[in-house]
Every structure is written in C-alpha cells, then in structure tokens.
Amino acid sequence: MNTSDRSGVIAAIFTFMALVFVLRLGQIQLTTSEWRDYAARLTEEREPVMASRGLVYDRNGELVVSNVACYDLMFTPRMARNRIDTLGLARLLGWEPERLIAEMDKARVYSWYRPSIIMRQLPPEEYARISGELWRFPGTWAKTRSIRSNLEGLATHLIGEYSETTPKDLEADPFYTLGDFKGKSGLEGVWETQLRGKKGVRFHMVDVRNNYQQPLSEGRMDTLAIAGDDMVLTIDRELQRYAQRLMQGKRGSVVAIEPATGEVLVLVSSPDYDPDLLVGPGRARNYDSLLKHPGKPLFNRALRGTYRPGSIFKMIQGLVALEQGVIQEDSRIYCNRGIIGCHGSHTQDNLNEAIIHSCNPYFHEVMRRMIQTPRTGSHFEDAAQGLAIWTERVKAFGLGTDLGGNLPGAKSGFVPDTTFFNRVYGKKRWAYSTIYSLSIGEGELLVTPLQMANIAAAIGNRGWYRTPHAIRNLGGKGKPPGSDQRIETGVPSERFAPIVAAMEAVVAAPDGTGKRAQIEGLTVCGKTGTVQNDPDLEHSVFMAFAPCVNPQIAISVYVENAGFGGTWAAPLAALIIEKHVLERDSTAYPDREQRILEAKDPFPRHD
C-alpha cells in the first residue's frame, strides 16, 4: 500500500467513527422515547394531592366521623445507598434491628428508586418524637396521611371500616396509590366514590436527591383536589350513644326507625369494637383477635343477624288472615292444646285476646284456614295455592327482602314459599300439617332485627312503611336515589285496630308480658318475643312503637340468651323510647336504667 493512501485510511476511520456517533445520537434522541421518558421519570414527580374525605354527621348536624392526620415513615433505598445507620434508626423507632433490616430489604426488593412504607400510620405524638432525628437517616422521611376518627365509636358497624388498600385494590382501581386508604365496609364502603372526592395533582421537578425544585410547566398541569361529599346520617347521635351504653355487656341489637320517614335513628350491634383497633400498626393482630372473639364483635347483628320471629309474627298472621277474610275481628277460636301447646288460662280468644295471650292454637287454626282453603279438591294443591298467596302477603310486610334502603350488608331473612317446600318434601308431598309451625313464627321463617323494627313501623303507620335508610343527605344532594320509597303492606289501615289495641294492652295491662315497657304519659304499643334457642337460654325480643297515634319511633330490641322478651328487651326499648319521644335528658325510671346497665352476659337461667 502506498503511504499516501494511508492518510485516506486514517481519515476514513475518523469519518466512520463520527458517523457512528451521529447515528447513535439519532438513535437515542430521535427514534425512541425510551430515554426521554426515563429522564422524565427521574426529573418529574407527580405529587398526588389528597382530597379531604367527606365528614359524617348525625341527623342534627353533630359530627360523628372526622379526619385526623397520621404519618407513614417512608424509605427510598437509592437515597440511602446502603449507608444508613440501621441500628440507630431501629433504636429510634423502638424496633428490633432485625425487623428494620427485614423491612428495608423488602423495600429494596420492591424498588430501588421508589419509596416504600416501612412504618405505618404513626400517630402525631409519635411522629413528633422521631421527626427531629430523621435527617440523620438518609432516604427516610415522613409522609402525612389522613385517617378516620370516630371518637365515640358510634355506629361503627353501620359506618364501616376505612383501611389501607390491598394490592388487589390497587390493581382494580388506578385511583389508589400505595398506602392509600379506602372504605372497605359499611357506608364507608358503599359510598366510597362519593366520600373520597377527587385527588388533585401537582407536578414537580426534582433534583437527584428527590427534593422538589420547582413546579413543572409553571404549574399549568396541576389540578386542585376536590373534597369528598359530606354525609349526613339519619342516626341520632345522642340516642345512638345511649342505646350503645344500654347494650354494653350484652349480645344483641337495637334498631330504631322513624315510622313516618323510614329514617334509621339507632342501629346498634353489640358487642361492637373500637374502630381505632383496625387502623395503624396493630391492625392485623387486632383484626384477628376480633375475628376470634366469641361475641363476634365484627358481625353486624342489626342488619345481618337472622332469628326466628316467634310470637311477634302472630300480628302479621292476624292482619293477613283478616285481609284474607278467614276470620273477623271478633271471631273466636277454641284454644285446642291437643295440636300445639299454649300458655296461660284462656279458652275462646278473639284476635285481640289471642295476641295478648299469644295463643298458639288460635294462630294454628287461622293459618290452617288460609293454607287449606278448599279450592281444587286436592288437599296438596290447595296447600300449594294457599301458601303462594300467604307468602306474597307476608313478604309485603318487608320480610324475605333486604328492604332496599342501601343499608350495607342487610340480609333478607327467609320466608319459605312453595318452591322451597317442593324442593324439601317434593311436589304434592306436603300440606298444612307438614308446615304448621310457620303459623306461630317458628319453622323456617327468619327475620332480621331491622325487619322487625320495620314491622313495628308498618303497624304504627297502619299499613305502610318507608324503606329504612341511614343517609339523610349526601353531598348536599339529599337522600341517595331509591332509598326512600313508600311501600304498602296491602292491608288497609282499618284492619289494624285490633292488633294495635292488643299491642297497647301487652304493655299497658297489669299482667301484660310487656309491662316493663310502660312509660308514664306515653302510650307504648309493643309485643314481646321469646326466640327458642335450645339448649341455650332464649333470646329476649321486644318490638314496639310509640306513641300509639302518629308514632315517632318504631323499635326492635334483641338481647341474646337473656330469657323472656318482657324481662330485658322490653325495659331496654322503653328507655330509648322515653328518651326519644319525651326528649328527656335523663330517664324518669332510674331503677329500670340501673337494672339494664348492670345486666351482663351471661344472664341467669330462669325456671
């Protein structure tokens, strides 16, 4: 090769490399957005601006649930660069070093660049203690977040749980980011989208140490957070607090409804739990122990507990029978104790007396007339047709349905129908004699305490009720649609007179089973129930409304394993009625209150 050609070779090598560089520049600058996106990820940070969650008020505008600040301790592995004083930090947090190291390893596995939470929901006082020291530990800082505070622990089952999102939640809804909270159950869960509001976002430029430097694009892309809707409950805070106090130490429920509106005034399920147990670092442990607690404190008995209605169901039987025309108000029926047992001394009761005496043979006969009305000549076919009509009429009283008022988790209970019995016994294999225990509210019937209170409201209104609901106003837009509807029971108001009179007598009569619910100057209409619960003690049940005309409250009280309905449930209901209707700050029956407050599960066996 000629030496002068060699300059060409060298120039070609130089030119080739320059060309390679220009092409490479084009490749990373022009052909892909990979590096631009990566730079944006490094230098720009989206800071979500949390919306303040809607507050919860009671019907009188008193605050029930508010928001309070707490702090998550965050850790970014890259900023620590393995040079963090783990021992010192563990001492500051009061942790075992192994635990901290494990958390930090978890954070490193999750992401080298992104912050992880290493300690959750520190209360403000705890944060104040450590905040001054955090600068010593690079890569750690505290992130403020807002949690719920239900200071008095009122209606915790109804309001529900507000807790940290699970990985599944994060996947299901992009609204949430790691460590966010969401309403999980109760009203918090049902109305989550309304309560949570809209997050805002601020875009920042950050430097290599992840410090905010300046707003991106002068903040033109930023949006403000929009606070969540406030929620006004139908619950009366005072009354709820009182009912919870009365139920302390007992298992059971109290449901009170304003009959004219269907608004739920009181919803107690006892035992309840301190909602604070379910937030913060101890959540998992506490949840577990609540779950294993024999009293099932997490279980909302008021909406989800199902019981056999017992004698209280006799009032519905009477009303349906009157409407069917199988009895008249003054029809008397012989108390034939050969078929079914009874109690007390009576022989030929009319409807009113049969309810007061809770006469089993009377309602056995009444229901036989309804079910076995001769229609087709076939004993079995008659029973099937009769039951179909009966089921419809009973369901019109709000049984066998969740009542549709958006009460979270409300159960439907059960009213057996022909399909059910055909499945159990076979088609045309059953007749009234097979299913007669329904007549006295036993058998397969199941109702919830809410439905029981609703029956009291329907009777108090003489024939109709409004869907029971718990929200008066959501975000200033009034009641959520569909939660407030007038429903007819299908029984005209004039038919209610003997039933109402009987309920009045149950309380007012000196030997009435509900006499412990008497209130001076107020007509209380009630009915006791005693739900068989072999081999344990019966559940003590009482349902009532007051006053007799234009009732202001309808109530059901369940005290589990406490015995007769008149013994515990009736006086407990009376205290609540007294407080609400007579607007008394303290009861005129301190002995009654004292007795209830002192009563604790387990109740003594009676004989």
Q: What is the distance of C-alpha 114 from the center of its chain?
A: 36
* Beta carbons within 8 Å of 116's beta carbon, 6+ residues apart: 74, 75, 76, 77, 106, 107, 110, 178
What part of residues 112-141 is at the interface with other proteins (CB under 8 A)? Answer: 112
Closest to other proteins by CB, 25 vs 588, is 25
Q: Whole-number minimum distance, CB 481 to other proteins, in Å?
A: 49
Give the binding range for other proteins (CB under 8 A) out of 11-19, 252-260, 479-487, 491-499: 11-19
Alpha-carbon separation of residue 88 from 127, 208, 222 (angstroms):
16, 25, 39
CB-CB contact of 148 with 69 (8 Å): no
Closest to other proteins by CB, 9 vs 224, is 9
Show the tokens assigned to 309.
């209605």
Q: Whole-number minimum distance, CB 112 to other proteins, in Å?
A: 4
Question: What residue type is assigned to position 160 of the chain?
Answer: G
Q: Whole-number minimum distance, CB 143 to other proteins, in Å?
A: 22
Closest to other proteins by CB, 203 vs 420, is 203
CB atoms within 10 A of CB 52: 13
CA separation for the pair 54, 212 (Å, rounded): 29
Does position 110 interact with other proteins (CB under 8 A)? The reply is: no
Does position 217 interact with other proteins (CB under 8 A)? The reply is: no
Does position 29 interact with other proteins (CB under 8 A)? The reply is: yes
Give the binding range for other proteins (CB under 8 A) out of 24-32, 94-102, 231-239, 570-578: 24-32
Does position 339 interact with other proteins (CB under 8 A)? The reply is: no
Q: Whole-number minimum distance, CB 474 to other proteins, in Å?
A: 44
Build a one-symbol-per-residue string for 501-520: x at contacts with other proteins by CB under 8 A, - elsewhere: --------------------
Build a one-symbol-per-residue string for 41-80: x at contacts with other proteins by CB under 8 A, - elsewhere: -xxx---------------------------------x--
Does position 40 interact with other proteins (CB under 8 A)? The reply is: yes
What part of residues 401-420 is at the interface with other proteins (CB under 8 A)? Answer: none
Does position 213 interact with other proteins (CB under 8 A)? The reply is: yes
| Residue 452 phi, psi (nearest 5) | -65, -45
Helix (H, G, I), strand (E, B) or coil at 393: helix
**Count of chain residues binding other proteins (CB under 8 A):** 41
Q: Whole-number minimum distance, CB 219 to other proteins, in Å?
A: 15
CB atoms within 10 A of CB 143: 12
Strand (E) or helix (H) holding 143:
strand 140-149
Does position 206 interact with other proteins (CB under 8 A)? The reply is: yes
Report the residue from 52, 60, 166, 214 that binds other proteins according to the rule CB under 8 A: 214
CA separation for the pair 433, 29 (Å, rounded): 88
Report the residue from 9, 221, 291, 549 that binds other proteins according to the rule CB under 8 A: 9
Expressed in percent and rounded to 5, the helix, strand and coil fractions of the chain are 40, 20, 40
Give the binding range for other proteins (CB under 8 A) out of 15-23, 219-227, 306-314, 488-496: 15-23
Judge residue 7's burial from the number of C-beta atoms within 10 Å of its C-beta, 0-12 exposed, 13-18 middle, 19 or more buried: exposed
CB-CB contact of 571 with 516 (8 Å): yes
Closest to other proteins by CB, 6 vs 91, is 6
CB-CB contact of 426 with 395 (8 Å): no
Closest to other proteins by CB, 42 vs 339, is 42
DSSP 563-580: --TTTTHHHHHHHHHHHH
Report the residue from 205, 226, 277, 548 that binds other proteins according to the rule CB under 8 A: 205
Show the tokens assigned to 337.
């104790």
Contact positions vs other proteins (CB under 8 A): 1, 3-4, 6-7, 9-11, 13-15, 17-18, 20-22, 24-26, 28-30, 32, 34-36, 38-40, 42-44, 78, 81, 112, 205-208, 213-214
